[in-house]
Structure 1
Amino acid sequence: MSDDTSLDEFDREILRRLQVDARATGEEIGAAVHLSAAAVQRRIKRLRAIGAITAEVAIVDPALVGQAMSFIVGVELERERADMLDAFRRAARADPNVQQCYYVTGVADFILIVVARDMADFEAFTRRLLFDNSNIRRFTTSVVMSRDKVGNVVPV
Structure 2
Amino acid sequence: MLKDGIDHIDRKLLAALQADAHATTESLGEIAGLSPSPCARRVRMLEKSGVIKAYVAVVDQVKVGLPVSAFASVKLERQREEELDRFSSTVSRWPEVVECYLMTGKMDFLLRIVAKDLAAYEAFLKQKLTRLDGVASIETSFALGQVKHALGLPILA
Could you tell me the percent identity over the aligned residues? Answer: 36
Q: Deviations over 1:17-48 (max 9, x none)?
A: 11111111111111122101111111111001
Would you say 1:6 and 2:12 are equivalent positions? no
Number of residue pairs matched? 154
Q: Deviations over 1:78-122 (max 9, x none)?
A: 111211111111111111011110001001100011110001110
| TM-score w.r.t. length of structure 1 | 0.94
Q: Which residue of 1 aligns with 2:99?
A: 100
Change in 2 beyond 3 A, CA 1:90/1:128: farther
| TM-score w.r.t. length of structure 2 | 0.94
User: In the TM superposition, what is the alpha-carbon distance from 1:5 to its structure 2 partner?
Assistant: 5.3
Q: Tell me, which stretches of 5 or more residues in structure 2 are unaligned?
A: none
Q: Which residue of 2 aligns with 1:87?
A: 86
Aligned Cα root-mean-square deviation (Å): 1.2
> Match of 2:79, as an amino acid?
E
Q: Which residue of 2 aligns with 1:36?
A: 35
Q: Which residue of 2 aligns with 1:53?
A: 52
User: In the TM superposition, what is the alpha-carbon distance from 1:55 to its structure 2 partner?
Assistant: 1.3
Q: Which residue of 2 aligns with 1:78?
A: 77
Change in 2 beyond 3 A, CA 1:5/1:115: farther
| Conservation of the 8 A alpha-carbon contact between 1:91 and 1:129 | no
Where does structure 1 differ by over 6 angstroms across 4 or more consecutive aligned residues? none
Q: Tell me, which stretches of 5 or more residues in structure 1 are unaligned?
A: none
User: In the TM superposition, what is the alpha-carbon distance from 1:151 to its structure 2 partner?
Assistant: 2.2
Q: Which residue of 1 aligns with 2:146?
A: 147
